[in-house]
Amino acid sequence: MQNPAAPKLPHHVAIVMDGNGRWAQKRWLPRVAGHKQGVDALRRIVEASVQRGIRVLTVFAFSSENWSRPVDEVASLMDLLALALSREVPRLSETGVRLHFPGDRSRLSPRLAQGLASAEQATQGNDRLVLNVCFNYGGRWDMAQAAQRLADRGEAITEESLSATMALSHVPDPDLIIRTGGEQRISNFLLWQAAYAELVFSDCLWPEFDAEQLDLALAEYARRERRFGQTSAQRADATALTADAGPRDA
């Protein structure tokens, strides 16, 4: 049974990694330099998540709308992903991380799409942390593709069937969504899955985000009361019933 005095820990943390470009511009560097530093920040947060016992980490790496950025920046992001795959996948696998890349792969080069599939296959036996790197992903795209797949199969479109057909159906919905960079919006990220997530907005630019910043967000999450449409009294009763139903001597 969980220690009642222990802080609440989210099972699934999702992050909008915002601020790479501004971090670079503040230093008179090209924007791609910020994206490279962002990869280092992600490495730190993956390690910190494993150490803290978080089971699922989902990050927004490239949105459906990011194609409208300058062509050279988009090309640099594609190259950076390919480089990160070659460098990071073996290390992530050794750490026990299982990779998924939710998103629309139809616009990716065949080589990059194959690299994503290979990384997923190489890490599929790991179970310490599920890392979802959402690439060419959008919340509206996710709902539309799920509805289309159900329609193509002639299945009824319900909340349950949509949830089971979403790009992140392999993990529970996020408990905590963090956005860095000072903006206070979720920008088409996990629109369906975020229905009851706690939101935390950090002024820290993503390349500077570290374990200390993660702990601040986790501490804020632990202070929240998640009611899921119920009253505080109902949630307290449900918690008490769960505790009473814990393991007993045979």
Please identify every residue annotated as catalytic.
18, 66
The DSSP-derived string for 2-49 is --TTSPP--SEEEEE---HHHHHHHTT--HHHHHHHHHHHHHHHHHHH
Per the CB < 8 A criterion, the answer to whether 222 and 8 are in contact is yes
How far CA 170 is from CA of 12, 101, 145, 200, 227, in Å, comes to: 12, 12, 16, 24, 24
Q: To which residue do tokens 């062509």 refer?
A: 71
